[in-house]
Amino acid sequence: MAASLNEIKQRIASTKKTSQITNAMQMVSAAKLTKSEAHSKQFQVYANKVREIVTHLTAQQLSDLAGSGPRDGVNYNSMLVSRPVKRTGYIVITSDGGLVGGYNSSILKQMMTMLEEDHAQNEEYVMIAIGATGADFFKTRGIKLAYELRNLSDQPSFDEVRKIVTLATTMYQNEVFDELYVCYNHHINSLTSQFRVEKMLPISDLDPEEAESYEQEYLFEPSREAILNQLLPQYAESLIYGAIVDAKTAEHAAGMTAMKTATDNAKNIIGDLTISYNRARQGAITQEITEIVAGASALE
């Protein structure tokens, strides 16, 4: 009985230490989440302004593309024009490590389902992985990666991801693939995220009717086409970067939720162990009293 009591006490002590660690990790993730949400909001201001400018500059081209098609003699940027899809590009965003609950598994499971349903063979798509979990997952399944990026910071700057987003837009322009999707978990709130597949290229989320609501007029130097040739890749890159920031925010939220769940579970285990300890201790005391009474009766 004494050995059992000591064992329960040791389990209670070790579980308390574990709960302290998970609670600390929960607070760290909560702090990261707050910073990441603020970073995401700040970036959204920039993204909205770039979208406004691009929509304004491409209003005529978008109207033509939505209507009877491109007119002869007009230079339409390749990022606006859909072409026959021979190969599809995917950027899949996961975390570099674990302790984030089902964050990675939900992305990878749905990603594999989508690949099996939409593609008959691996040659029909090009895979780019952001995050060690996704990169290792695809490699173990024989899926070749065109590029992988690991060990992103908690609040990644554009310089950190510049190479991969520039590579993606360049590969599209060079017709390595004919459309590009970014697949990741979209942050809704601290408890909820949603798997999202967003089409980044060709650029199709611009509405020419929006341009009518903009009051700004622009003077072009050297020309509208030259500016768009520079601005459209930057806009596409900003869309990809925005998805990365969003995914990182969802990752921090998942980490916070996972550590909160672990802490709550540890507290429940401690409560159950404490009850078991008290019952075992009460049984030991009762047994001792019974033995004392029995011994006293034998002496009479």
pTM greater than 0.75: yes
Q: What is the DSSP letter of 215?
A: -
Q: What is the pLDDT of residue 130?
A: 95
**C-alpha pair distances (Å), 175 with each of 119, 126, 213:** 18, 11, 34
The identity of residue 156, as a single letter, is P
CB 47 within 8 A of CB 203: no
Question: Which has more pLDDT, 136 or 284?
Answer: 136
Q: What is the pLDDT of residue 73?
A: 42
Q: What is the pLDDT of residue 221?
A: 74
- The dotted CATH code for 27-253 is 3.40.1380.10
Q: What is the pLDDT of residue 109?
A: 95
Burial class (CB in 10 A: 0-12, 13-18, 19+), 177: buried
Q: What is the pLDDT of residue 115?
A: 94
Domain ranges of the chain: 5-25+259-295, 27-253
Distance CA 182, CA 168 (A): 10
Q: What is the pLDDT of residue 141?
A: 92
- Bridge partners of residue 91, in order along the sequence: 128, 182
Q: Cα torsion at 65, 67, 73, 75 (round to 10°)?
A: -20
Q: What are phi and psi of 89, to 5 degrees?
A: -100, 140
Q: Average of pLDDT values for 266-291?
A: 88
**C-alpha pair distances (Å), 215 with each of 52, 53, 54, 231:** 11, 11, 14, 20
CB 145 within 8 A of CB 135: yes
Q: What is the pLDDT of residue 74?
A: 43
Q: Average of pLDDT values for 190-207?
A: 87
Distance CA 186, CA 47 (A): 17
Q: What is the pLDDT of residues 34-44, one digit of tens each?
A: 999 999 999 98
Q: Which of 240, 161, 178, 165 is nearest to 205 (CA)?
A: 240
The confidence band for 194, taking pLDDT boundaries of 50, 70 and 90, is very high
Q: What is the pLDDT of residue 33?
A: 94
Q: Average of pLDDT values for 227-246?
A: 88
Q: Average of pLDDT values for 250-275?
A: 94
Q: What is the pLDDT of residues 68-123, one digit of tens each?
A: 555 444 445 678 888 899 999 999 999 998 889 899 999 999 999 999 999 999 89
Q: What is the DSSP letter of 47?
A: H
Q: Which of 56, 71, 75, 78 is nearest to 208 (CA)?
A: 56
Percent of the chain with pLDDT over 90: 53
Residue by residue, DSSP assigns 237-255 as HHHHHHHHHHHHHHHHHHH
- The dotted CATH code for 5-25+259-295 is 1.10.287
Q: What is the pLDDT of residue 72?
A: 45
Name the average pLDDT for the chain: 86
pLDDT at 193 over 80: yes
Which range among 6-20, 96-110, 208-222 shows the weakest confidence by mean pLDDT? 208-222
